[in-house]
Structures are given as structure tokens and as C-alpha cells.
Amino acid sequence: MKTIISTKYIKNTVLAAAALFTVSATAQDADDTSSPFSLSGSIDTYFRTALTTSDADGTYAPEGASTSFANQTGFALGMANLIGTYEAGDTGVVVDLVFGPRGTEATFENDVLNGIINQAYAYWNVSDKTTLTVGRFNTFLGYEVIAPAANFNYSVSYLFSNGPFSHLGVKADFELSDDVSLMLGVMNPWDTNDISLTGEYSLGAQLGLYDQFFNFYYDSGRNGGLGFEVDYTGGFDLSDSFFLGINAAYNTNSETETGFYGAALYPQITASEDFAIGLRGEYFAYTADGFDDVPVIGLTLTGSYSKENLIIKPEIRLDSWGNDFEPFTDNDLAPSSSLATFAIAAIYSFD
């Protein structure tokens, strides 16, 4: 779908970015040696083409049959990301702004400033072991995140695309020991998280054990809510150069009688200081009461070459659907159950 960016969007974007840089300059002038303000961010762009289907209409799959982000044909922009942090003593604030198609999709273009606020929260380090956070923050569910600089694969998984992206509410993080942590949260329901017109709220929890994380989310499922989701995210260093990431999730919504489940493995090999290669193998299925599950197998092979702050990621991806589901179009404009694509992305980050 072609996105038209309004002059209001551009104006607000420029003003927001200018405000961040103004605050940064003021803070640095006040104390040249130690500023409480920091600025980081990234920008990403990519080229993508189909290997097995037609590029003619610029669309590979209908909504709901593809993953989020990086779905354009030809050269495309991902997003620009600016993160401003101000910390004074035990308290601080974070404002995370996103500009571009990836950011707009992640925020649903339904919040302040036409969907450019990815995160905006304040925090209080109550003690060395306890932190309170209030505002809008990215989700604790899933292996992947919105900002591509923090992911190994450039495209994202079905598990990440169908879970929450962010939450609006309050959470408390507890460090119970060096290897055990606990998070508890009360938030607006997903994915109506900007407001709660019905007076309903969601509950979230995360238990961390030796860098393995067990995540839980619940809302009633009514009025566009997600329902119940349980998620495991973790990984293991099998050697100095071989890491295996793992993600598994199960979701059910008793109101809509729909849901999903799946698992993904992320084997990654570091070949040198500058180059690594990784595979995401994912099995995912949609569920609906009275219907057969609709499964998809996704295989994504990604290389990652780093040069200073720049990362180049070539990527080949194959998606194959089962149960006679044919969301794609082949070169003869006939329905197809599989799709192979090639993409190459450039990501530049700074801090």
C-alpha cells in the first residue's frame, strides 16, 4: 500500500528532532564533562525483490498473511530512530521517536504526532534491586524488537508480528538475585493500548531465570484485545562462536475464538569480528474455532557484515503455507502457497 506523508507529519517530525538536539546542546553547555542527556538512534533502508512471484502489484500477500515491516518491492525506507534519555539521580525519562514506514506500522499511526512516538516513559530506581516505569514502553514478549539494529535478521517473524509491539501503563522490575528477575505490569489492553475506553486493563509478567525469560500477558479479549499469551524467549552460547536463540509462544482469545502458536530457532555463527551468519527457522499457525489450523514454515538466512557503525545485511527468505492456503501470486498471476524473496539492508546506528 502506498503511504502518503502529509506536510503536518513532516513539520512535526522536524520540530520533535529539533527539540531533542536543543535539549542536548543545552545540557552539554551546562556541564561539558558529564551530561545527564544522551542521544542515540539508527536509520535503515533496504532493497527487496521476489524470486518466485510477481512484483507487478508491489504486494506479496494480503494483510494477515505476511509479517510486519520490510514488505515493500524495490528500494524502500525502513525508519529513522531517535532516542533521547535524561537521567538525574535515581529518576529519568526516555523518549523514543520513529519516522518512516516501519515506525508508522509499529505505532499504528494512532498516537500523538501521527504515530512517531514509539516509547515515552519515566522511571524511578527505587533501590538497586527495584525499578518502576510508567508510560509507553516496548513489549516484553518475543525474541525480536521493532528497531532493526537490535535484531540479527532484518525481516521479522510471524510470532513477533502477531504479538504486542508496545504497552501503555506501569510496570515494576525486581532483581531477585544475579540470575533471577521478575517484572509485573498493569497496562491498557493491546492493541487498543493508547486509551482504555471500556475501563478494562491488561496484566503482564516476566520471570527471568539465568537469561531465559518466561512471559505472560492477559486481557479479556473484548474490544480488540489480544486475550492470553504465554511466551518463552531465551538462548544459549553453544561455543565461543555459535549462539542458539529460541522463541515459542501460544495465544488464545476466548471472545473471538481465535489464536496462534509457534516456535522459532535462531542459530547464529560468528565467522569473524566483522561477519556473522544466522538462520531463523520458524513454524507458526493461526487457529480459529471450527476451522483447521493454518500453518506456515518460514526460513530466513541472513548475513551480517559490520563496518564501524554501518551494518549490511543480505537476506534470503522462504515462506511456505499449508492446508491449501495460497496467499501469494506467482509469475503467471496464479495463486501460490510459497514465496521466496531476496533483500539487502543497510543499517547505521549511533550512540
Residues near 260 by beta carbon (within 8 Å), at least 6 away in sequence? 158, 159, 162, 249, 250, 251, 284, 285, 286, 287
What is the rounded average pLDDT of the residues 65-80?
Answer: 90
pLDDT tens across 191-227, in order?
Answer: 665 666 778 899 999 999 999 999 999 998 887 789 9
**Other beta carbons less than 10 A from residue 303's beta carbon:** 15
Residue 129 has pLDDT above 60, yes or no: yes
Strands 202-209 and 180-187: antiparallel
What is the rounded average pLDDT of the residues 334-351?
Answer: 91
- The answer to whether the CB of 328 falls within 8 A of the CB of 338 is yes
Residue 268 has pLDDT above 90, yes or no: yes
The pTM for the full model equals 0.86
- Beta strands, E only, the chain: 37-50, 74-88, 91-99, 117-125, 130-138, 166-175, 180-187, 202-209, 212-218, 228-237, 242-253, 258-270, 275-288, 294-307, 310-321, 328-329, 335-336, 338-350
pLDDT tens across 285-340, in order?
Answer: 999 998 999 999 999 999 999 999 999 999 999 999 988 888 777 666 677 888 89
Cis check: omega of the bond before 319, within 30 degrees of 0: no
